[in-house]
Amino acid sequence: MFIALFLVVVLLLVGGIHWYLWKRLVKDVVTTRRGRRVGALVVTLLGVLIPVTMVGSRVLPLEQQPVLAWPGFLWLALMFYLLVTLALLELPRLALRFWAGRREPQPVDNSVDSSVIPVDSAGRAVQGTVDGQVTAVDSPAAGVSGGAVGSAAAEGAPVDDAPVDGGPVDERFDPARRLLLGRSLAATAGVLSVAAVGIGTWQAKSAPVLKRVPIRLAKLPASMSGFKIALVSDIHLGPLLGKAHTERIVRIINSVDADVVAVVGDLVDGSVAELGPAAEPLQDLRARHGSFFVTGNHEYFSGYQEWIDEVNSLGVRVLRNERLDVQGLDLAGVNDVTGEDVGDGPDFAKALSGRDASRPVVLLAHQPVQAHEAARHGVDLQLSGHTHGGQMVPFNLLVGLEAPVVSGLGTVDGTQVYVTRGAGFWGPPVRFGAPPDISVIELHRA
């Protein structure tokens, strides 16, 4: 019942957004019936494309998914930015209408001197003379009602191409000016949205930025100053990101000569059978003290136990609510909170209890929200991902409502938390304002 209700709400939301886009991008800028019908058909098909893409990404074989994923997810991103920009442009639209409303309408002199208008014996106004004979207008209303349709027909244009009746004319804001405003705002929204999606697509498919982040820990032994942890998250292997994506990430990580490699969840969006070959390059990761992995929420949608076994087989140790000693540093890892639904959730007590409190502890946990519990167990530094840095600005503002740290370094209840933006993407192949990254955490004694 809940799922059905959720789907209804989503469909209504998608439908409402597309109605708004039709109103601003078609109704406000197209003046013919045929044009509006074509626009309505296009907007309807694009609206249907979104749920079809969502369903197809779950039921189609992986190799067939890109056929829907590319157009469907790109339109989803473009729809989002059109919605945002058009909503923001409502402010100048309202301001211009308000300004027009304050203008005094120009007085119109409707008085007519009947003495200069000849009339015939039937009382009809004489229109003119031809060879000395007068001609009259039988019905003034007929001359008006013929309107644009009549003129269009006279010119040989089909009725469907005639201008649509815009309804009552607002004398304070004439139709021509209203049309110009609608077209100008629609063009502005279109250019800005296409630019955002274009730049975001380029960023999403580009190599992750390598960030070097110095972090100071009070308990860190002086001998470990400069200890490097290569941190990567949210690789998101799937229909649009495959083996070449993994190979590029491995090359970047291996270039930094890290002491430890930490992969903090959301490696895949599919089964081992589908994506096992794409993950194989992880076996080439090089670090002095090894490579480690903790589960993210997407592993629990993709056969988590199979992936745990697969990652372990690639030489990347999965930390499942456990810790180990690395040269006087406690390195711990906990499962993602999504695992609670299948009895495989995080166990901070198991991972952190009974340790020497004088030693620094670095915790690998997929979601930044887990930092609250980490702080209660005295964690010095938590390394996380999950947020994608918002992936598409201004989504970072919404992500910030849940995550205590969206990207970069922050502090939660006295525990330092560093959140990488991740190396891949989920859903739209677009990362606007939040480019992918791989972070090199350099630990220093405070």
Do 188 and 333 reside in the same domain of the chain?
Answer: no
State how many domains the chain has. Answer: 2
Domain housing 302 = 209-445
Residue 159 lies in a domain: no
How confident is the model at residue 65, as a pLDDT? 94
Do 353 and 278 reside in the same domain of the chain?
Answer: yes
For residue 328, is it left (φ>0), alpha (ψ between -120 and 50) or beta?
Answer: left
Which three-class secondary structure state does DSSP give residue 261? strand
Instruction: Please report the DSSP string for 81-130 in residue order.
Output: HHHHHHHHHHHHHHHHHHHHHHSPPPP------GGGS-B-TT-PBEEEEE
Residue 190 lies in a domain: yes
Residue 129 lies in a domain: no
How confident is the model at residue 5, as a pLDDT? 86
Residue 168 lies in a domain: no
How confident is the model at residue 153, as a pLDDT? 40
Do 183 and 214 reside in the same domain of the chain?
Answer: no
Tokens 């849940």: give the residue.
Answer: 402
Residue 75 lies in a domain: yes
User: E strand or H helix at 75, and its extent?
Assistant: helix 65-102
How confident is the model at residue 97, as a pLDDT? 76
Do 419 and 323 reside in the same domain of the chain?
Answer: yes
Do 185 and 282 reside in the same domain of the chain?
Answer: no
The torsion angle over the Cα atoms of residues 312, 313, 315 and 318, rounded to 10 degrees, is 0
Do 32 and 94 reside in the same domain of the chain?
Answer: yes
Residue partners of 133: CB distance under 8 A and separation at least 6: none
Do 229 and 180 reside in the same domain of the chain?
Answer: no
How confident is the model at residue 234, as a pLDDT? 98
Do 67 and 21 reside in the same domain of the chain?
Answer: yes
Do the beta carbons of residue 362 and residue 260 sit within 8 Å? no
Do 272 and 368 reside in the same domain of the chain?
Answer: yes
Residue 372 lies in a domain: yes
How confident is the model at residue 163, as a pLDDT? 61
Do 289 and 188 reside in the same domain of the chain?
Answer: no
Do 180 and 292 reside in the same domain of the chain?
Answer: no
The tens place of each residue's pLDDT in the chain, 446 residues long, gives: 677 788 889 899 999 999 999 999 999 999 999 999 999 999 999 999 999 999 998 889 999 999 999 999 999 999 999 999 999 999 988 888 777 666 655 555 555 444 444 545 444 544 544 444 544 444 444 443 444 444 444 444 445 665 665 455 454 557 888 899 999 999 999 999 999 999 999 999 999 999 999 999 999 999 999 999 999 999 999 999 999 999 999 999 999 999 999 999 999 999 999 999 999 999 999 999 999 999 999 999 999 999 999 999 999 999 999 999 999 999 999 999 999 999 999 999 999 999 999 999 999 999 999 999 999 999 999 999 999 999 999 999 999 999 999 999 999 999 999 999 999 999 999 999 999 999 999 999 99
Do 327 and 179 reside in the same domain of the chain?
Answer: no
Residue 237 lies in a domain: yes
Residue 203 lies in a domain: no
How confident is the model at residue 15, as a pLDDT? 96
- CATH number, domain with residue 374: 3.60.21.10
